[in-house]
Amino acid sequence: MATGIASGSGQLYLREPVYRRNSYGKAHCHSTVILSGMQNQIHWSSWISKLLQVDRSNYSQCQVKTNQKSHRGTIKSCQREGSTRYFDFAVIGSGIAGLRYALEVAKHGTVAVITKAEPHESNTNYAQGGVSAVLCPKDSVESHMQDTIVAGAYLCDEETVRVVCTEGPERIKELIAMGASFDHGEDGNLHLAREGGHSHRRIVHAADMTGREIGRALLEAVVKDPNIYVFQHHFAIDLLTTQDGSDIVCHGIDTINTETHEVIRFISKVTLLASGGAGHIYPSTTNPPVATGDGMAMAHRAQAVISNMEFVQFHPTALADEGLPIRPSNARENAFLITEAVRGDGGILYNLDMERFMPSYDERAELAPRDVVARSIDDQLKKRGEEYVLLDISHKPTEKILSHFPNIAAECLRYGLDITQQPIPVVPAAHYMCGGVRAGLEGETNVRGLYVAGEVACTGLHGANRLASNSLAEALVFARRAVQPSIDHMNISKIDHSASSWWPRPVAPLLLGDTVLNKVIRRTREVRKELQSIMWEYVGIVRSTSRLTLAETRIIELELKWERYLFQHGWEPTMVGLEACEMRNLFCCAKLVVSSALSRHESRGLHYTIDFPHVEESKRLPTVIFPSQLNSSWSSRRLHKQQIC
């Protein structure tokens, strides 16, 4: 993997990467090629759109082999041949981005929505705060843009920011038309909340359960659509790709049904990755258990360009179980989020001596962006040797607290804490990946036929730190923007029913027997905890070069040790299982984060290192990880080689 920061000044001076061929005839990026050059001064989003643009008038037909079953035009219904399914569109993920996209492209063809667990189990379902959009006459697109760029430490792509801030309000109106119900004020207009980093009230919300309400509305519409087929409990393993000269083409996805252990292959004309983030590379995260970086890792293995992985957002205020009057009897799979809106509504942060500390760190106090608040809390905890701080909203009227934060109030009351009378114990937790699969303005990637939307994507919107409630807006905007190019691609593509045999099939490890398989699963769970511990200790909120280097070494050693254990117990390279595949994806994402962090020799946004504590204007550029064939570990390799035309 070739990692680097684009050279040059604050403006990007770019040239397209040069490709070489290895002895197998595959194209890969020259490892020394990083964004540079002085020919054309253009914005990141403009350049990446050009680089990733698919020449729709000259598609390679390498995927269409001589076969009388080749199918042009839409597939009229779900077609099935044994363990292979054929669709016009395959969507990986059932969060806001995946479902919104599915509903639009379903007007033009058949859609498979492939989801790892239950359809509602996504990061969207856990989003409390809301969706940011300019809907107040006193607000403006320019103000929203400025707030986004300031929060993103001036690493945001301005064109992308303008697109999201401009198109976001219309996407909200579409959700309302579909039946999503948001809170309204006494005047009958939408109630707009304010969160940290925002200069105006612009957060559309449904109490403190906004994501759940949006997910409900979208899922109800999906269920009613005859062109959409939902495959729940299907874990995505690897993307199916072919190589055409220097181009990589995506043809679908291999999955395993985690309930029946059957491997199902989806052949599709277009694939959308909307699989969410990678919060579970850390031991404490607000993300649901499904957030193990599967989409980012699959895309990396399929030679997609990855960007800005060092920018991991730690939400400042997750519920600290250690401070509750009644401790939960079982450890949580994911930390309970205390929304940004609590601070936006006047919540105050105190240490355990009830000393307010945020004004001493930033003039914006509790309304500072998340990276500032998280680092401030981290500093307090380390200086004072304490496990959590306190967030107090009890000075506000009881009825206001309970109407705005009913879910938080109920969760805390379960453990003996009344937030209308007592402060809430909070601690930072991994929350959001600002980096991901690099995308253009239409969600396109450098892999033809592969689009991305939501947290799995790096569009340039968030820069070095995400502004609160911008993620759902981004997901809605880019899901919608990916629709037309996807339809164009679908219309000139063919389905070849012989394609299913182009790649070897993964197999479930049933032949190992229950005893061996249980040992492998048990060891994998132990390794997962070890990796999470390394990431939290060495790649957390405050970093250093020596600790990042140590993390890199320890992660590689742990990965190779785990792989040896698997193969010594009869595991084969083509075997797949939920725990093992999640583990390989976690390793992949952890290495991407560490590699990116080591490449950034400055402190910007979410990446703070004591060795380079200041912002450097010359380094105000995205980190880019180009594809590479130099992958030595099983976790970094695809389960099957790419088909070459």
SS3 content of the chain, % helix, strand, coil (to 5): 35, 20, 45
Strands (E), 274-340: 306-307, 312-319
Enclosing H/E stretch for 161: helix 158-178
116 residue type, one letter = K
Please tell me the distance from the alpha carbon of residue 406 to that of residue 400, in angstroms, as a whole number.
10
The position carrying tokens 């032949």 is 511
Please list, in sequence order, all residues whose beta carbon lies within 8 angstroms of the beta carbon of residue 587, skipping any fewer than 6 positions away. Answer: 531, 555, 559, 562, 633, 635, 636
Please list, in sequence order, all residues whose beta carbon lies within 8 angstroms of the beta carbon of residue 329, skipping any fewer than 6 positions away. Answer: none
Q: How many beta carbons lie within 10 A of that of residue 361, not counting itself? A: 17
Spell out a b/e string for 232-264, using b for 16 or more CB atoms within 10 Å of the CB, else e: bbbbbbbbbbbbbeebbbbbbbbbbbbeeeebb
The answer to whether 159 and 11 have CB atoms below 8 angstroms apart is no
The pair of structure tokens assigned to 260 is: 């029946």
Is residue 370 annotated as a catalytic residue, yes or no?
yes
The pair of structure tokens assigned to 188 is: 């009958």
The pair of structure tokens assigned to 587 is: 């390793």
The answer to whether 339 and 193 have CB atoms below 8 angstroms apart is no
SS3 475: helix
CA-derived radius of gyration, the chain: 24
* Distances 589 to 8, 98, 445, 452 between C-alpha atoms, Å: 27, 21, 18, 17
Identify which of 414, 431, 413, 430 has the alpha carbon closest to the alpha carbon of residue 422: 413
Torsion angle of C-alpha atoms 290, 433, 599, 546, degrees rounded to 10 = -70
Identify which of 492, 499, 603 has the alpha carbon closest to the alpha carbon of residue 542: 603
Please tell me the distance from the alpha carbon of residue 73 to that of residue 493, in angstroms, as a whole number.
8
Please tell me the distance from the alpha carbon of residue 261 to that of residue 511, in angstroms, as a whole number.
12
53 residue type, one letter = Q
- Going 123 to 506 to 640 to 83, the CA torsion angle's sign is negative
- Backbone φ and ψ for 529, nearest 5 degrees, come out as -65, -35
The position carrying tokens 């390679």 is 60
202, 370, 375, 543: which one is catalytic? 370
Q: Residue count of the chain, please give it.
A: 645
Catalytically annotated residues: 370
